[in-house]
Amino acid sequence: MRFSERLPTHTTRTRQGDLEMREQDSKRNPIARLTIGVGIALAVVAMMAPVAQAAFGVTSFEAMVENEDGTAATQAAGHPHEVTVALSFNRTPNRFGIPVPDESIRDVIVDMPAGFVGSTTAVPRCTNSELYGIGIVAECSTDSQVGMLAVEISAFNVVTEYFPIYNLVPAPGTPASFGANVLGVPVYMDARIRSESDYGVSVEARETNQTLALLSTTATFWGVPADPSHDDQRCYGFPSSSNPNPGQCEGGEPGETPRPANIPAKPLLTNTSECGAGAFVVNMKAESWAGSTDSGADTLEEGGSPIGISGCNQVRFEPTLELTPESSEAGKPTGIEARLAIPQYGLEDPDRLAQAPLKDASVTLPPGMTVNASSADGLVGCSEAEARLGSAQPAACPAASQLGTVEVKTPLLATPLQGSVYLATQGTNPFKSLIALYISVADPLTGVVLKIPGEVSPDPASGRLTVRFDDAPQLPFTEFSLELKGGNRAALVNPSTCGTYSTQAELTGWANPQEISRAGSSFTIDQNCDAGTKFAPGFEAGTANPVAGKFSPFTLRVTREDDEQDVSRIETTLPEGLLAKLAGVPLCGDAQAATGTCPASTQVGTTTVGAGAGSSPLYVPGPGKAPTGVHLAGPYRGAPYSLVVQVPAQAGPFDLGLVSVRNTIEINPANAQVKVKSDPLPQIIQGIPISYRDIRVDVTRPDFTLNPTNCDPMAVGGTIVSTKGAAAPVSSRFQAADCAVLGFKPKLSFRFKGKTHRSAHPAVTATLKARKGDANIGKAVVTLPETEFLEQGHIRTICTRVQYAADTCPRGSVYGYAKAWTPLLDKPLQGPVYLRSSNNTLPDLVADLKGQIEIELAGRIDSVDERMRVSFGAIPDAPVTKFVLRMQGGKKGLLVNNTELCRAKPRASVVFIGQNNRVHRLNPVVRVDCSSKSQRRRAQRP
């Protein structure tokens, strides 16, 4: 179909003789052409008023995409011969009977289907001054011509004029601009990308001059402007209306002969690569000048007839992907550069189809390349509102949310598009996911604005990352490069071991989205190859103020170098005597401990964790954040107490919830030494590897942690276990101070109860009292009065060590009962006193004290100078305000009198040695009830 046959149905093609003479004269005299143009404009203004005005409207609208033979150009990704948009407006005769438009057209916007694209580099550009030319004649080079414009106007009569459409130098912010000089009035048609919707191309003719009195218009754009088939329409000026073939150049006149293009044949237009019965639909929106005022809203929209697109099976899609890390060091933070290339020879060769644009991309990074936790420091998220998705405006993401840059190269534009990669806000992004990205391009030169969201899915078990972008804009590119920033705060970490690693991608194009194209690349990690083979964690621990017997905060710190194995478990053994005051401290319940929701009343300290690869780990909680909690809880895994360490995994824009690790508190019954063992530390939280670098625990509850009263050099020791099973013994020197200034003067009293005569077996009560603030007792040697012998005949059942360890001592092995009070516990400890087997001649005397904790107080029984002696050689360094020991008498008594007690006034001999090595000696008189009444009572007992 020829251009002259595409005019709207209402176009009148007959010309009056005077008009023909005017145009013939104008060819000889450009000034005359200018005068005629002005005269036509004035006549239009005078005569355009209709007799009876109808509503603004379009009588016909048609959009055609055609091959050279006039058939519909339905080949996907092909180059149509011509694309024509024709529309005519409502008209009403004026008082002279000449049809005039009901309202002057102001704006016409034509929306091409998504995927239908045009090149800005196919032909040279004409400047705006050249388009103005000399009045009604443009001076643009014919090489810049891209089509023809036919306008039907109402002047002295209804006439149709034909004008070349030129590729213009666009204004900043416009990707492409086209224009025609219509009788000295420039008509501009600007292209833009519909960034607010489907990223299709729209051509907008805005602010049309009202003096033109347009009745209809037909715009035809050539698919390949340099094709010789357009030579007869490639003109300087405009075609002659006397030509029997309107719309063609008239031969024989200088400057107006058909002429070939002096440029290579490159496609201007490329069809969409998406197939379907209605894949090609052109929509139009028009607004009159009256509609732009308060007097009316004369705006209308029309949709063209759908055109089927086929042949997608002929469209190739051959992407390649290359991903290269910035660093080749194992386990180190790294930036990356990802380059996705799709050959697009068809965008520059009119004889080849373009390759399909990318539709969906799913890229899985190599195993071991994970998120760097320390990258969150100083990072913020970009909200969906800031990203301005669904808007034509550029994204307004905070600078601190930028992760990297992008560059898009396409033959459609003369220069690459530059943009940024932003981190999307957690949870409120389009995917409601932990990690998402926004790719944002806002090119000030072309005005192209792209905003593409992508989801990042870390594998919850391994942390392996998959990045997915769906429904990418149908804008073909030859190369898409994404570069993530490197350095210590890089978003990614290299695999921890050397080797070759592969990136895998599943890609689909718009032509055949059901067919997956697999691409990938590999890279080599060959530096720092011993990373992950070493494990020598740093360890520091102790009290802030190690004054003997005083309360002081306690601090523990474990550090790890960047290239060492990660920390899995921490076991810490405190020095003997470094204890905690449990009295008055509420306990976190099991249910609360399991969920990490312990109340504040149970808190005994705080913790800080530094995590991430690189030389600058990220600390949580960060500055300005509420401190984390270390809480006291009840029995756990067989231990009497436990610590619940709660760490809110909140850093930068990420909130991974509350991480809770429970630790057993074991207490050695023999010396009250405390050992704390952690459960395995979580290594991956919601797919984010933690990579512990610095773990600090500060026990800061007032009057909670108590220093020992022994000032001998000691150590806080323990074992740090790695994720690979390596066990590193650690130790931090500890020594209390000022033990010598502590007093030490405990008191011990004895009382015998029962018959006092020789061969009687008295019951014994020993009561110890200690002063507050004194050094604790370290050793005690008690020698009974010489009036007493050991009654070996009463030694019945003895508890074996195995039975004792299993807490299954026979009842017959119980010979007494003991009870101890300490300010560190809410309730006293108490329990039976056994005779337990030993390596000595006589069994040991053991008090099995139970309650909030369990303590074993063992004494060795022997004799010295024929006197019975009990030596307690290792008493826990713990404050005891009172201790009472009651031994049975009578038939179960272990003592037998060797004389009448009331005449002997027996005395014991006691030596106490304090934890500070001070010695206190006593010779307490044993109280015996020698009253006659008491003796008679005892005598009457059977």
- DSSP assignment of 54-120 equals ----EEEEEEEEE-TTSSB--BTT---SEEEEEEEE-EEEBTTS-EEESS-EEEEEEEPPTT-EE-S
User: What is the average pLDDT across 548-565?
Assistant: 95
Tens-place pLDDT, residues 831-857? 999 999 999 989 999 999 999 999 999
Backbone angles phi, psi at 29, to 5 degrees: -135, 100
List the one residue out of 774, 264, 865, 257 whose CA is nearest residue 549.
774
List the one residue out of 732, 400, 811, 433 whose CA is nearest residue 573.
732
247 neighbors 25 (Cβ within 8 angstroms): no
What pLDDT score does 287 carry? 87
Residue 77 pLDDT > 50: yes
Going from the C-alpha of 368 to that of each of 434, 494, 499, 500, 920, the distances in angstroms are 19, 7, 11, 11, 65
Confidence of residue 704 (pLDDT cuts 50, 70, 90): very high
Token pair of 498 as six digits: 């050397």
829 neighbors 845 (Cβ within 8 angstroms): no
What pLDDT score does 33 carry? 38
Strands 201-205 and 105-111: antiparallel
- DSSP assignment of 211-228 equals GG-EEEEEEEEESSTT-G
What pLDDT score does 652 carry? 75
What pLDDT score does 872 carry? 96
Tens-place pLDDT, residues 862-875? 999 889 999 999 99
- DSSP assignment of 307-341 equals EEEB-GGG-----EEEEEES--BTT-EE-EEEEEE
What pLDDT score does 767 carry? 97
Q: What is the rounded CA–CA span in Å between residue 215 and residue 92?
A: 10
Residue 40 pLDDT > 80: no
Confidence of residue 940 (pLDDT cuts 50, 70, 90): very low
User: What is the average pLDDT across 705-712?
Assistant: 98
Token pair of 158 as six digits: 């209804």
* Average pLDDT score, the chain: 88
Residue 939 pLDDT > 70: no
Q: Which of 73-82, 181-190, 612-621 has the lowest mean pLDDT?
A: 612-621
Three-state secondary structure readout of 819-852: EEECCCCCCCEEEEEEEECCCCCCCEEEEEEECC
Confidence of residue 300 (pLDDT cuts 50, 70, 90): low
Q: What is the rounded CA–CA span in Å between residue 369 and residue 524?
A: 12
Q: What is the rounded CA–CA span in Å between residue 167 and residue 178?
A: 5
Residue 320 pLDDT > 90: yes
Backbone angles phi, psi at 376, to 5 degrees: -75, -15
What pLDDT score does 41 carry? 44
Helix (H) or strand (E) holding 684: strand 684-685
376 neighbors 651 (Cβ within 8 angstroms): yes
Q: What is the rounded CA–CA span in Å between residue 426 and residue 433?
A: 6
Q: What is the rounded CA–CA span in Å between residue 422 and residue 398?
A: 9
List the one residue out of 302, 216, 282 whose CA is nearest residue 8.
216
Confidence of residue 112 (pLDDT cuts 50, 70, 90): very high
100 neighbors 48 (Cβ within 8 angstroms): yes
Query: 384 in the Ramachandran plot: left (φ > 0), alpha (ψ -120 to 50) or beta?
Result: alpha
What pLDDT score does 23 carry? 38
- Can you tell me which residue has the tokens 């005359």? 32
What pLDDT score does 254 carry? 43
Residue 350 pLDDT > 90: yes
What pLDDT score does 248 carry? 57
What percentage of the chain exceeds 70 in pLDDT?
88
Residue 257 pLDDT > 70: no
Q: Which of 259-268, 821-830, 846-855 has the lowest mean pLDDT?
A: 259-268
User: What is the average pLDDT across 156-170?
Assistant: 89
What pLDDT score does 73 carry? 95
Token pair of 513 as six digits: 């989205």
Cut 0.75: pTM above it:
yes
Q: What is the rounded CA–CA span in Å between residue 87 and residue 148?
A: 15
Confidence of residue 105 (pLDDT cuts 50, 70, 90): confident
What angle is formed at CA 173 by the lines to CA 169 and CA 178, rounded to 5 degrees?
Answer: 35
89 neighbors 59 (Cβ within 8 angstroms): yes
Tens-place pLDDT, residues 202-254? 999 988 887 777 888 999 999 999 999 998 888 654 544 444 455 556 543 44
Tens-place pLDDT, residues 725-783? 999 999 999 999 999 999 999 999 999 999 999 999 999 999 999 999 999 999 999 99
What pLDDT score does 38 carry? 41
Residue 14 pLDDT > 50: no
Q: What is the largest CA-CA distance in the chain?
A: 162
Amino acid identity, position 129: S
Q: Which of 116-120, 311-315, 613-617 has the lowest mean pLDDT?
A: 613-617
List the one residue out of 734, 799, 733, 779 whose CA is nearest residue 546.
734
Strands 692-699 and 618-620: unpaired
What pLDDT score does 1 carry? 45
Tens-place pLDDT, residues 131-151? 988 767 788 998 999 999 999
What pLDDT score does 344 carry? 96
939 class by beta-carbon count within 10 Å (0-12 exposed, 13-18 middle, 19+ buried): exposed
C-alpha atoms less than 13 angstroms from C-alpha of 864 in its C-beta half-sphere: 12
User: What is the average pLDDT across 705-725?
Assistant: 97
Residue 393 pLDDT > 70: yes
What pLDDT score does 383 carry? 96
Going from the C-alpha of 881 to that of each of 117, 772, 820, 829, 884, the distances in angstroms are 91, 7, 8, 12, 10
What pLDDT score does 94 carry? 82
